[in-house]
Structure 1
Amino acid sequence: MSNQRKRRRKPGRASTRSQQSYRSENYALRDEIICIVLLFVMILLLLCNFGFCGKVGDLLSHVMFGLFGILAYIVPVLLAFATFFYISNAGSRNTDLVVMKIVAGVVLCLQFGIFTDLLMGRLNDASLATLAERYESSAAIRGGGGAIAGGIGAFLYRYLSDTGTILLVIVLGIICIVILTERSFIEGLRRGTMAVYSKAEADTAEYLSHRKERREQRQKREEGASRKRTSLPRARKYAVGMTSDTDLKQAAEEEPEQPDRLTEPVLPVLRQQADEINDIHEITIHGSFSPDEKEQAPTFISFEKDRENNRLATGNASVVSPQTEKKAREEDIKEEETKEEKEAVENDRSFTEEGSSLHESLSPRVEHRKPLAKPKAALEPTDQNRGEYIFPPITLLKAPNRNRGGDSRIHLKETAQRLEKILHTFGVNAKVTDVSQGPTVTRYELQPEIGVKVSKILNLSDDIKLNLAATDIRIEAPIPGKVAVGIEVPNKENITVTLRELLESQAYQTSTAALTFAVGKDIAGETIVTDLAKMPHLLIAGSTGSGKSVCINTMILSLLYKSRPEDVKLIMIDPKVVELNVYNSIPHLLIPVVTDPKKAAAALGWAVAEMTRRYKKFADAEVRDLSGYNKFVELHQGEEGYEKLPQIVLIVDELADLMMVSKNEVETAICRLAQLARAAGIHLIIATQRPSVDVITGLIKANMPSRIAFAVSSGTDSRTILDMNGAEKLLGKGDMLFFPQSYSKPIRVQGAFVSDKEIQDITDFLKKQETNSYQEDVQEAIATMEGIAGIGTAGMETNEEAPDRDEYFEDAGRFIIGKEKASIGNLQRIFKIGFNRAARIMDQLCEAGVVGEEEGTKPRKILMTMDQFEDYLLNGPAKESAS
C-alpha cells in the first residue's frame, strides 16, 4: 500500500514543479514584454517633445510640459528606469527599499522643479494663482517647474517664504540622496571632521617637536660658545676708558665692574644667526644639486664638530690612536686660544679707533672661522698610526660640475608632444603621462588607449627614430609595475656622472655591507647601489669602448672607500696587462695583479682550493657561512687555530683570452666557484669584450645570475648576455643594462666616469700607508699549481705516443683519406662506435692536421695524403712539419 501511495504522489509533485516553472517562464515573458513596451513609450515621448510625431505628439508634448515643465525632457527616461529597476528587484527581499528609492527619486525631481520656479521668480507671480494657469504657462514656455512642482512650491512659498522654502528643499534633497546612495550624511561629515582634526593634530605635534629641536640646538650652540669664552685667559676682558695714566692697582678692583664688551653683545648676535641658520634648514629643495651645496657647514659650529668635519674631509673613517688624538686636541686648543686672543685684540683696536659697530667687528670673525685641524694631517700617515688603514679622502675624486647640462623642460615637452603626434599618425592613440630625464637618456611613459596592442608600438621603433631624428631609441613594453610603455630617447646634452657624487649619496653612505659598490644613476637620476655579496657573482660584457673597464674601476674604488683590507681581499687577473696594473701594492691585494694567462688559471685553482679549505673549517665550527664563522671566531678569541677570514673578490678583466689559452681549467674553476663559493665569502666579477657562446659558455652563464650588459654590436650578443634583446640599442660610454638576480627585468643605468688621474691619486695615497704585504703562502701555492700545469702541458706537447689518442685514430685517418670524405656518421657506422666517440676522433684528426675545421653544413676538407699521414704516425708532427 505504501508503495502504491508513493507511486501516486510522484505524478502530483512533478506536475507542481512543472506548473511553477511554467509560471516563472510566464513572469519572465511578461516582464520582457513590459520592458519592451516601456522602451517604446520612452522613445515615443522623447520624440514628441521634439515635435517628430505630428498632432498626437504635439498634444502629448503639451501635456508633458504642462505637468512637469522642464523635467519633461527627462521624465520618460526616469519613468522607464524606475520601472526597469522595480521589475529587476521585484522578487528580492528588498522590495520595500526599492519602492522607497523610487519615491525618493520622484521627490527629488519635484524639488528640482520647485527650485527651478524659485529661481525664475514664478512662485510669487500673481498671474499664476491657479494650477490651470501654471499648466498653461509651463506648456507655453516649455520650461519652469510645471503644474505639479509649481503648485507645491507656491503652497510652500505662501506659508514659509523664500528662505523657509529653500531650507526645506535642501533638507529633503539631502534625505533623498541618502536614501538613493545608502550613504550616511552624518557619518561622512564625522569622517571628514576626524580627518581634518587628525591632520591638524599631527601638524601641531610636528611643529612642536621641530621647535623643541631648534631650541635644543640653539642651547647647545650657546653653551659651546660660553665654554669657549670662559676657557680663554684674562687678556680677553677689556676695560673701557683705560689710559696710560690709569693706576693698575685700582684696575684690579674696578675690573669686575667693567662691562664685558665681548660677552654681552655676542649672545644676541649668535641667537640671531642661529635663527637664520634654522630657517634656512627648514626649506626643502626638490631636484638635483651639487654635493658642494649639500655640504655647506653652518655658520657657527662647536669645537667637536670642527674636529669631526675635518676628520671626515680627510678620510671617511681615519684610524688614530687615543694618545695621538689627545695630543692633537691639546695642540688645537692652544692654537685656537692664541688665535682668538689675537683676533679679539685686533677687533677691540678697530672698535676704539674707527668707531665701528660691534656687530660689524665680530661677524667676519665668526663667519670666516678657519678649521681647527689641518686637512693634510690625515693624508700623511705618521709613525704612530703607520700600519693602520686610513680610508682615502673623498677630495681625491673630482667634484661634479654645478652648471651641468641636460635638456630643458621646454625641449622635453616638445618632444613628448611630437611623440604623441607621430604615434597618432600611424594609428596609435596614446598619451605621455610621465617624463623621466636621466643623465644620457630620457624615458617618455606612454599610456595607450584600450585595445592598442603593445606589439604595434614595438613595430614602430624605426619610424619613431626617424621622425624624432634620434641616434637610436629603445622601447620597454611594458614598464614593470606600470600600465605604460617606455620609450627611451637619447638626450641632446648629456650629463657626466662622477664617482664622487655616487659615493657621497645617502644610499652609499648608509649601506653597512663591506662589498657595497656604486653602479651609477638610473633613468630617473636615482643612485643605484648594490651589495656584491647578494648578487653573488657578476658577469660584465660589452664591446670595446663601451665602458666596461671604467665600470670595473668604479667597483674597485667603491670597495676601497667602503671596506678595510682585513675585511676584503682582492685578486685581480688582467691578461691585457695595462688595465689593473695601477692597483699593485695597495693594501687590499692578496697577490700582485696576475697578467700571465697560465698563472691566472692557477690563481683560479687556488681559489677553488681555498673555498674547499673554508668549507672544512665551517664544518668543524658547525656553521653555515662566512659570517657565522667569523662570529664563532669572535666568541673564541685567543684560542689557537681560529682567525677571522676576509671576503675575497676575484676580478677577471678579460675572460676571452683565458678561454683561448686554457679553456678547460678556467671554465671548470669558474663553474665550481660560481656554484659553491657564495657561502665561503668568495665572489667573482668576470668581464669580457667578446660575448659569444664559446667564451660565455652555457655552464658559466647558468652559474652567473647577475649580469651587466654594455653596448654590443648585435641582438645575438645581447641575448647571449641577458637572454633578451636590448643591449644593441645602448649608446656606449657607460650606458648599461643592469640585471641582478633579484630583478625581473634589467634597468638602464648610466655608469660613473673616473679618470686615470683620480685612480692614480687614490692608489698613491694607499701605497703611502705601507700596510700592504702580499701573502707569500698564497703566491707559493699558485706557483706550485702553475708548475704542475706547465709540466702537464709540456708532456702533452712532446709525447709522441699521445696516450689520450683514441685507439681507432690511425684506422680512422686511413679510412677518411682513402674515402676522401670526412664524416662522423661514417666513423660511427664503420667502427660501430657512438656519436661522442666518433666526434672526439674527428677532433683529434683535426688537431693533427689530417682534416680541416668544421665549416657548417659543408664536409671537412682532407688536408693530408696517405704518405703524409704515414710519415706523421712514424715521425710525429715536428719532423713531419720540418720535412
Structure 2
Amino acid sequence: MKWSEWFIDEKYSKAFQMVGLVNKVREEPIYLEQKMTDNNFFIIRFNSVGIGIEKWKDKKQEIESALDISISKIKIGNKNTEIIIEGMKGKFDYSMPIYWENSYLTPRNSLILGESMGKQISVDLDVYPHILLGGSTGSGKTNLLKLLLMQCIKKDYAVYIADFKGKVDFSYKWDKYCHFVTTIEDVISNLDGICKELLDRQIIFGSKGYKDIDIYNEREENKLQHIVFACDEVAELMDTTGYNKEEKNKIAIIQRKLSMIARLGRAFGIHLLLATQRPSVDVINGAIKNNISARICGRAEKTLSQIILDNIDASDMIDTDIQGMFVNQDGEVFKAYLFNDDCLERSDGSYGKEYSPYF
C-alpha cells in the first residue's frame, strides 16, 4: 500500500472506530478505493467487514461529522461485501434554494428532479414509468409534482390532473396546457378513456411488432403522445372512510383502472404521478404500489416514509426544518428545483402546446 493510501485508510479507520461503525469483533470497514471529481464530489468503496447497510445509514450523520463530509448516497457495491459512499468534502447546504432553468429540459423521456452533491437527479420514464411522491405538509411535495408536470407539458405529453382542492395550487396558466378532473365521476370517465387508449395501443403495437411507444413513433408518421395522469393527494381517490356502498364501488373502479395503468402503461407511454401526505397504509393498495418503482419522499414521519419508500430514510435523512429536500428509492438525497408558473411558457413560443381533449 502506498503511503498516501495508508494515510487515507488510517483516517477512515479512526473515524469509524470513533463513531462505533464496527462489526461484532470490533473491526472497522476497510478502505478499498476513492475517486474524486473536479467539484469535490467523491465515490469511496469499502469492504464492509459484515456491517449491514442499515447500520451505515444509521451512522450517516456521525460519519459526516467525523470526516467533515456530506454524504448523498450509501449503497451496496458490485459485491455484497462492498459498501459505496457518494458525497462531497465539507458541508453541502440543502437550505439554499435552487431554481429551474428551461435549458435543463432533456430531449427524451427523462424528468429532472433537482440537484444532489455534484450532479442533477432525474427519473427516466422509460425505466421508471410511474412515480409515487410523498411528504408532509410544507415539505415541498406539491412544488416537485408541479415541476415534473411542467416538464411533461413542455415535452408535449397529454396531462390530466385530478384535483379536489379547487385548484389552489395551480394558477389559470395551467388551464391552457392540461385538463383538470375535479369529481370522482370525472376521474372514472377520464381513466376509462386512458385505459381504452392503452388497450388500443396494445392491439396496434402487437399487430405491427412494436415493443414500445418510442419504436412506434420512430417508424410511424402519426405520432402518439405520452399520457400522464397525476393526483396531488391520492388519498382523496382511495380513502373510503364514511362512504356508502355506491361510493365505495366507484373507488374500487378507480383502483382497478389505476392498477391496470401501473401494470401495463410503460410500453404504451402512459404514466402515473401520484402524491400523498397522508400517513396511512390504505392510501395506495399493493396492486398499484408494487408496480410503481420510482419512489420519492420529502420531510415525513416514519410511517409515511415507510409507506412511500419501504424504509424510514425520509424521516432519518431529511432535516425537519428544510423545505424542498427529498430522498429517492435509491437513497439519494437531493434538493428540488423551484420554479414559477411563467416557466410553462416561453416568449419564443417553442414550448407548450395548448391543451385539446385527447379522447
The two structures have a TM-score, normalised by structure 1, of 0.32
| Alignment partner, residue 615 of structure 1 | 202
Over residues 220-247 of structure 1, what are the superposed CA-to-partner deviations in whole Å (9 max), with x where a residue is unaligned? Answer: xxxxxxxxxxxxxxxxxxxxxxxxxxxx
Checking the alignment, whether the CA contact within 8 Å between 1:516 and 1:559 is kept in structure 2 is no
TM-superposed CA distance for 1:678, in Å, is: 2.3
> What per-residue deviation string (whole Å, max 9, x for no partner) do you get for residues 735-778 of structure 1?
32323xxxxxx1414133314xx323534859999962532x84
SS in 1 for 2:181: coil
1:459 and 1:627 mapped to 2: Cα distance? 40
Question: What is the CA deviation profile of residues 606-633 of structure 1, one whole-angstrom value per residue up to 9, with x for unaligned ones?
Answer: 2112222333444565645434444554
CA contact (8 A) 2:121 2:334 kept: no
**Structure 1 counterpart of 2:332, from 748, 766, 771:** 748
Q: Give the aligned partner of residue 572 of structure 1.
A: 161
Task: Sort the Cα spacing of 1:454 and 1:622 in 2 relative to 1 into closer, same or farther, 3 A.
Answer: closer
Higher strand share: 2
**1:82-121 alignment, distance < 5 Å:** none
- For the residues of structure 2 that align with 1:768 and 1:751, how far apart are their CA atoms? 28
Q: Secondary structure at the match of 2:176?
A: coil
Is 2:253 aligned against 1:665? Answer: yes
- In structure 2, distance between residues paired with 1:532 and 1:443: 27
Residue of structure 2 aligned with 1:454, choices 30, 51, 71: 51
Name the counterpart of 1:404. none
Matching residue of 1:762: 344
The answer on whether the counterparts of 2:171 and 2:341 sit within 8 Å (CA) in structure 1 is: no
Q: CA deviation at 1:692?
A: 2.8
2:224 aligned with 1:645: yes
1:585-600 matches, within 5 Å, as: 585-587=175-177, 589=178, 592-600=179-187
Q: Are 2:129 and 1:536 equivalent residues in the alignment? A: yes
The Cα offsets for residues 528-583 of structure 1, whole Å up to 9 and x where unpaired, read as 3343133222221222222221211221233344x2x3xx2211222232223444
Instruction: Name the residue aligned to 1:710.
Output: 298
1:667 CA displacement = 0.8
1:519 to 2:113 alignment: yes
Q: Is the 8 A contact 2:97 2:338 kept in 1?
A: no
Which letter maps to 2:341? Answer: I
In structure 2, what is the equivalent of residue 422 of structure 1?
Answer: 18
> In 1, distance between residues paired with 2:77 and 2:98?
25
Measured at CA, do residues 466 and 774 of structure 1 come closer, stay the same or move farther in structure 2, by a change above 3 Å?
closer
The one-character-per-residue Cα deviations of 1:248-302 (angstroms, maximum 9, x if unpaired) are xxxxxxxxxxxxxxxxxxxxxxxxxxxxxxxxxxxxxxxxxxxxxxxxxxxxxxx
- Kindly indicate whether the alpha-carbon contact (under 8 Å) linking 2:205 and 2:212 is maintained by their aligned counterparts in 1: yes
For residue 667 of structure 1, give the secondary structure of its aligned residue in structure 2: helix
Counterpart code for 1:701: K
The partner residue of 2:77 within 475, 480, 483 is 480
Structure 1 residues 599 and 724: alpha-carbon distance in aligned structure 2, compared to 1, 3 A threshold? same
Shift of 1:655: 0.5
Match of 1:97 in 2: none
CA contact (8 A) 1:518 1:555 kept: yes
Give distance in 2, aligned partners of 1:631 and 1:460.
44
Equivalence for 2:245: none
Structure 1 residue 694: Cα displacement: 0.6
Distance in 1, Cα, partners of 2:281 & 2:235: 11
Structure 2 match to 1:52: none
CA contact (8 A) 1:586 1:766 kept: no
For 1:197-346, what aligned pairs fall within 5 Å after superposition? none
Which of 147, 156, 167 is the equivalent residue of 1:554?
147
Letter in structure 1 aligned against 2:223: K
Whether the 8 Å contact between 1:540 and 1:548 is mirrored in structure 2 is: yes
Amino acid at match of 2:189: A
Distance 1:493 1:761, change over 3 A: closer
Q: Is the 8 A contact 1:424 1:430 kept in 2?
A: no
Q: Which residue of 1 aligns with 2:100?
A: 499
Q: Is the 8 A contact 2:280 2:307 kept in 1?
A: yes
Give the 3 Å change call, closer, same or farther, for CA 595–420 of structure 1 in structure 2.
Answer: same
Which AA in structure 1 matches 2:290? Answer: A
For structure 1, the 5+ residue unaligned runs are 1-414, 635-642, 740-745, 779-883
Letter matched to residue 19 of structure 2: L
How far apart are 1:668 and its partner, in Å?
0.7
Contact 2:130 2:272 in 1 (8 A): yes
Which one has more relative contact order, counting CA pairs under 8 Å at least 6 apart?
2
Give the corresponding residue for 1:683: 271
Q: Residues 334-386 of structure 1: CA distance to partner in whole angstroms, max 9, x if unpaired?
A: xxxxxxxxxxxxxxxxxxxxxxxxxxxxxxxxxxxxxxxxxxxxxxxxxxxxx
* SS class of match (2:149): helix
- Aligned partners of 1:749, 1:456: CA distance in 2, in Å? 16
Match of 1:223 in 2: none
The answer to whether the 8 Å contact 1:583/1:593 transfers is: no
Change (3 A) 1:761 1:520: closer
Q: In structure 2, what residue type is equivalent to 1:520?
A: G
Counterpart CA distance in 1 for 2:60 and 2:352 is 60
Q: CA RMSD in A?
A: 4.3
Q: Secondary structure at the match of 2:354?
A: coil
Q: 8 Å contact 1:519–1:529 — kept in the other structure?
A: yes
Rounded to whole Å, the distance in 1 between the matches of 2:201 and 2:151 is: 26
Taking the aligned partners of 2:211 and 2:58, their CA distance within structure 1 comes to 50
Shift of 1:697: 1.1
Distance in 2 (CA, whole Å) between partners of 1:626 and 1:584 is 26
| CA pair 478-492 structure 1, distance change in 2 beyond 3 A | closer
Q: Deviations over 1:143-200 (max 9, x none)?
A: xxxxxxxxxxxxxxxxxxxxxxxxxxxxxxxxxxxxxxxxxxxxxxxxxxxxxxxxxx
2:251 and 2:341 mapped to 1: Cα distance?
32
Matches within 5 A, 1:55-134: none
Q: What count of residue pairs does the alignment treat as equivalent?
A: 323
The letter of the residue matching 2:145 is I
**Alignment-mate amino acid for residue 253 of structure 2:** E
List alignment gaps of at least 5 residues for structure 2: 1-10, 241-249
Change (3 A) 1:521 1:664: same
Task: Answer whether contact 1:594 1:600 (CA < 8 A) is retained.
Answer: yes
Alignment correspondent of 2:325: 735
Label 1:560 to 1:431 Cα distance change in 2 as closer, same or farther (>3 A): same
Task: In structure 2, give the amino acid aligned to 1:668.
Answer: R
Whether contact under 8 Å (2:324, 2:335) holds in the other structure is: yes
Give secondary structure in 2 for the equivalent of 1:679: helix
**Correspondence 1:601 to 2:188:** yes
Query: Quick one: which amino acid aligns to residue 762 of structure 1?
Result: L
Structure that is richer in helix per residue: 1
SS in 2 for 1:687: strand
| TM-score, scaled relative to structure 2 | 0.71
- After superposition, the C-alpha distances for 1:409-461 in whole angstroms (9 at most, x for unaligned) are xxxxxx98984562379855457775989x9xx9895847x8x5415992894
Q: Work out the percentage of aligned pairs sharing the same amino acid.
A: 23
Residues 419 and 464 in structure 1, CA contact (< 8 A), matched pair in contact too: no
Match of 2:288 in 1: 700
Distance (whole Å) between structure 1 residues aligned to residue 60 and residue 277 of structure 2: 31
